[in-house]
Structure 1
Amino acid sequence: MNNSTLLRVDKRDARLVMAHMYVAFAALAIGGLMGLLQVFVRSGRFELPANIGYYQVLTVHGVMLGLVFTTFFILGFQAAAVSRTSGTFTAKQRLTSWIGFWIMLLGTVMSATMILLNEATVLYTFYAPLQAHWIFYLGLTFIVVGSWFVIFAHMAKYAQWRKENKGESSPLLTYMVVANSLMWFVATLGVAAEVLLQLLPWSLGFIERVDVAITRTLFWYFGHALVYFWLLPAYMAWYVVIPKVIGGKIFSDSLARLSFILFLLFSIPVGIHHQLTEPGITEFWKFVQVVLTFMVIIPSLMTAFSMFATFELRGRELGGKGLFGWFHKLPWGDARFTVPFIGMAAFIPAGAGGIINASHQMNQVIHNTIWVTGHFHLTVATTVLLTFFGIAYWLIPHLTGRVLTPQMNKLAIIQAFTWAFGMTIMSGAMHWAGLLGAPRRSSYSTYGDAAQAMEWIPYQIAQAVGGTILFLGIIFVLIIFVNLCWFAPKGDEEFPIGEVDKDAEQTPKILENWKVWITVLVALILVAYAVPIMDIINGGPLGSKGFKLW
């Protein structure tokens, strides 16, 4: 079955995808408002009404944007991608996806309710010894389990395609969905174990205490892979959609698949690099995971090479001369290209900051400072978010049977530059203040010393200015979303799927041999985590009770 014959997402699948999008953009609105309140409070010029706590707002912001928006958007986009490239879901596959969606939505409502009641102010990462209400933890469990239903449906469609097209390479976009879904499933086993075996029994009073080191290690086993769960759908659009948008070709199918395999292998056994300052883990195992962390630089550079090769080849086809003449030939007036491209550009300083975060010595300078917050806002809140917005500008009208008008296209480009400007101010202030030692997750009112609070006021005012501009960008996005859902003219918007360059090399079949890659993944996880976890257990509360693993 050729990709070009599947021009539209089936209406039944489109309804499923749009359900995910409605939840995602509602979370964007709520989370964005909480972010605005956050920077206002941090500036020292604003107090929250009705005894609402600063950390309560911080938790809502993190959960709504970092978990709810991203998860619902990604799973919706992946469902559309599979339906478009591998064919309409069967009734059973679609039912499985709907079951997963409703379980996730129930979990979201449960967790959000507890946060709003100030019963789960646990700073998004829900670290022990901070404790939330058991309903919050059960809601998180529902979100994870619901997502498993959704990705199992995607994988089932992929398996069906392979069975019906023996010997052929699967559609590239579907292949990427499977790689990201597999990574998500393996990574969420860690947070599921943390919640089900430690935090939920603890919050219910079944156990008196938890092993804090174990909970943090299980969280970061999941937490760093979460970053790539956010990032890889953006890579899907970069590799497969953007070439079609600019009128070019996919530079290399093999390189694209290999980069996703490398992300799958090296995104999970690296979580300890978030725990470089923590006791209970020996320096050797920290070093091992730092080395594994740096391995993800390879697929990142592969992606940069592939994308800019695609851009240059297309630019020269259009008559671009000289070293950079091709650059001016790209379709800068098309929001489907320009908005994700700004996200790509942001990933250059974001990636450099990630190298600093993962480096044992340099991490000591910025650890637990607001630098880390600034880094997250460059990666997920700029690179990923702008790419997601760029996807939405063609995906939403494709699903709703409408078109992106020239007016909305212009507003989308204005939104992207507004976002880039606001983020440069806010994230720049966070990075600079972090280098000077400003603590993470702090506000004017949380400083014990007034003189110390005054020291950071200029940077916090800059963050408030940048955050206000970013909120204006969110308003623009919501206006476009509402227009594309209900008010844009009826029509046919393309779901752009690029074709591989005719001169590209043949894709090796081993890239689709999942038995090999899953075996390597399990081996890497065991090497990276088996001994550290046994050491933590032996030295923690369980070990003191005579329960030894080593």
Structure 2
Amino acid sequence: MNKALEKIDRKDAKLAMAHLYVAFTALALGGLAGLLQVLVRSGKFELPANIGYYQVLTTHGVLLGLILTTFFILGFQTAAVSRTSGTFSDGQRLTGWIGFWVMLIGTAMSATMILLNEASVLYTFYAPLKAHWIFYLGLTFVVVGSWVDGAAQISKYISWRKQNPGQPGPLLTFMAIINVVLWIVATLGVAAEVLFQLLPWSLGLVDRVDILISRTLFWYFGHPLVYFWLLPAYMCWYVIIPKIIGGKIFSDSLARMSFILFLLFSIPVGLHHQLTEPGIDAGWKFLQVVLTFMVVIPSLMTAFSLFATFETYGRSQGAKGVFGWIKKLPWKDARFAVPFIGMVAFIPAGAGGLINASFQLNQVVHNTIWVTGHFHLTLATSVVLTFFGIAYWLVPHLTGRVLTPAMNKLAIVQAFTWAIGMTIMSSAMHLAGLFGAPRRSSFSTYGDAQQAMDWIPYQIAQAIGGSILFLGIILVLVIFINLAFFAPKGEEEFPIGEVEENAEKTPMILENWKIWITLTIALILIAYTVPFMEMFQNGPIGSKGYRLW
């Protein structure tokens, strides 16, 4: 590795940190809204000052599901591209700053409308719930700003390829670009929904929208959104964790191929979120269920690669027996231990995802709080804990400080606090969902008092788990502030793993973007062309009009 690239340029670091400041601010505010949610659902707490339950629900969903994730991911990827492909040019960095400020302005617009109770539409902003037009315009700014931000990373990758013809791009940069491409293609759906349906509707330019098309456009975006969150965690697991434990990346080619498969199979699968909705032919739903299950392949590839890396390292340290290598892993290093807890959580999270995507089992859990519990295992545990683990070395690296032993111990305490709280809360959600407890409902919104009383034990368990989670948020904020402003000055490593010496050479076809983008577009067209044609024929502009609202 070129020594000049081991420390990120100060100007690039400033851009990356700007993203992280916004992300952790969103964590604080969105986490508080989440605490208020679970307290209200317990039936033992009422919101003050006429604050609505769905107001805090929307705040929680938008700030944590969209703002925290998008800002953290783009900040991390900015740092990763700078670290592995070299310092951004002035023009590329300016592009990144423009994207950042457009996103921040959009965030402020949307947050203002939520706080004014003019946009209590959940983070999915389902019609016929209607928000103020400023909310929709703000989210449009967030999406467009993210495109501009991502364009800076793509530009840097292109310039690296021009300077190094015939060579595969740095693995971490390649992964970041895959995620940017996935994000841009996926957000075309939500951008179309907002610009052509929700925004004109909220401005009064049209008096109705086609709800089925609206939801289909959202879920075209909504499922790959999960992989936009997940792939940066995979970047850490594939490339950074091997360096932290002292091992090697098992296979560069396998890592790239798994990311390509995520690009191919994560976008044309949104209909599996709409399995119970009328107006979509069952055959097309089934096709997308099949494509959804294809995502299992790169997930299993990732699990194989990770545990191959762990075992190879353990054996090199003298581990004996089938599981002896486990003892050799650096359990006292928060940079490893915190993401590892996220990896473990992904096992039940992935199993729950298979149930959600199943053509039959989905009927049992659809639109119950089981889905919310699953969501909190994937994003709020596997992904977020890995993000925290990244932050514990990335923030001091960017600010010229060090992760002290005290903060390292506190980080491990924070991760176990999070794991305990999430186990309690998510388990209660899954169990209540199996018994039919509805999603997104509070104690006061159930149909009758007896039904509300039936769910009280589960709601109280959620409140206990959620309160422990909020303690975990306080701890991570303490650590973040310390690492950003108060930790001792020094040099913290940006760990980048090296590939095993005997690994196969990476074939250049894996970076033939014409092939992979063409295949992605082809799969999207196969999965969505006929369903959309049928929606247009039977919707507001068609003869039947049974979905008008």
For the criterion TM > 0.5, the same-fold answer is yes
2:78 alignment partner in structure 1 = 79
In the TM superposition, what is the alpha-carbon distance from 1:447 to its structure 2 partner? Answer: 1.3
2:240 matched residue in structure 1: 241
Within 5 A, what are the aligned runs for 1:108-147?
Answer: 108-147=107-146
Kindly provide the CA deviation profile for residues 168-188 of structure 1, in whole angstroms up to 9, marking residues without a partner as x: 111000000110000000000
In the TM superposition, what are the counterparts of 1:122-521 in structure 2 within 5 Å?
Answer: 122-521=121-520
My pick for the range that moved more, 2-11 or 412-421, is: 2-11
> What is aligned with 1:104?
103
Shift, 1:5, TM fit: 4.3
Q: CA deviation at 1:349?
A: 0.1
Letter matched to residue 234 of structure 1: A
Contact 2:270 2:288 in 1 (8 A): yes
SS in 1 for 2:243: helix
**1:398, 1:308 → 2: CA distance?**
27
Aligned to 1:26: 25
Equivalents in 2 of 1:198, 1:168: separation in Å? 45
Distance apart, 1:3 and its partner CA: 5.0
Following the alignment from structure 1 to structure 2, what is the Cα–Cα distance between the partners of residues 205 and 527?
34
What TM-score do you get using the length of structure 1 for normalisation? 0.98
Q: Are residues 1:533 and 2:525 paired?
A: no
Give the length in aligned residue pairs: 545
AA in 2 matched with 1:505: E
How far apart are the structure 2 equivalents of 1:448 and 1:295?
39
Partners of 1:189 and 1:444 lie apart in 2 by: 37
Deviation at 1:448, TM superposition (A): 2.7
Deviation at 1:545, TM superposition (A): 9.1
Partner AA of 1:103 in structure 2: V
Q: Unaligned 5+ residue runs, structure 2?
A: none
Q: Which residue of 2 aligns with 1:41?
A: 40
Structure 2 counterpart of 1:519, one-letter code: T
- The answer (yes or no) to whether the contact 2:61–2:123 under 8 Å persists in 1 is yes
Which letter maps to 1:197?
Answer: F
Matched residue type, 2:225: L
TM-score (norm 2): 0.99
Please give the secondary structure, in 2, of the residue aligned with 1:71.
Answer: helix
Runs (4 or more) in structure 1 with deviation over 2 Å come to 2-5
Which amino acid is the alignment partner of residue 392 of structure 2? Y
Distance 1:350 1:510 in 2: 32
The match for 2:58 is: 59
Q: Which amino acid aligns with 2:179?
A: N
- 2:354 and 2:325 map into 1 onto residues whose CA distance is 30
* Percent identity between the two aligned chains: 77
Do the aligned residues in 1 keep the contact of 2:252 with 2:506 (CA within 8 Å)? yes
Equivalent position amino acid for 1:274 in 2: H
Find the aligned partners of 2:532 and 2:110 in 1 and give their Cα distance: 29
Greater Cα offset, 537-546 or 243-252: 537-546
- Whether the aligned pair in 2 keeps the contact of 1:3 and 1:86 (CA below 8 Å) is no
1:544 is paired with a residue whose SS is: coil
Decide whether the 8 Å contact of 2:421 with 2:465 is kept in 1: yes
Contact 1:3 1:171 in 2 (8 A): no
The alignment partner of 1:360 has SS state of coil
Question: SS of 1:63's equivalent?
Answer: helix
Contact persistence 1:59–1:124 (CA under 8 A) = yes
Find the aligned partners of 1:532 and 1:503 in 2 and give their Cα distance: 48
Residues 421 and 464, structure 2, Cα contact 8 Å, conserved in 1: yes
Q: CA deviation at 1:508?
A: 1.1
- Once the two structures are superposed, residues 134-175 of structure 1 have per-residue CA deviations (whole angstroms, 9 ceiling, x without a partner) of 000000000000000010010000000000000111100000
Q: Is the 8 A contact 1:433 1:456 kept in 2?
A: yes
Distance in 2 (CA, whole Å) between partners of 1:544 and 1:58 is 38
Structure-1 separation of matches of 2:361 and 2:301: 25
C-alpha deviations, 1:449-495, integer Å up to 9, x for none? 11110000000000000000000000000000000011100000000
Give the deviation of 1:360 after TM superposition. Answer: 1.1
- Separation (CA, whole Å) in 1 of partners of 2:92 and 2:130: 37
Contact preservation (8 Å) 1:3, 1:85: no
Partners of 2:149 and 2:131 in 1: how far apart? Answer: 27
Q: How large is the Cα RMSD of the aligned pairs?
A: 0.8
Contact residue 538 and residue 544 of structure 2 kept, 8 A: no
Q: 2 CA distance for matches of 1:76 and 1:433?
A: 37
**Per-residue deviation, residues 82-110 of structure 1 (Å, max 9, x unmatched):** 00000000000000000000000000000
Q: Deviations over 1:368-396 (max 9, x none)?
A: 00000000000000000000000000000
SS at structure 1 position matched to 2:527: helix
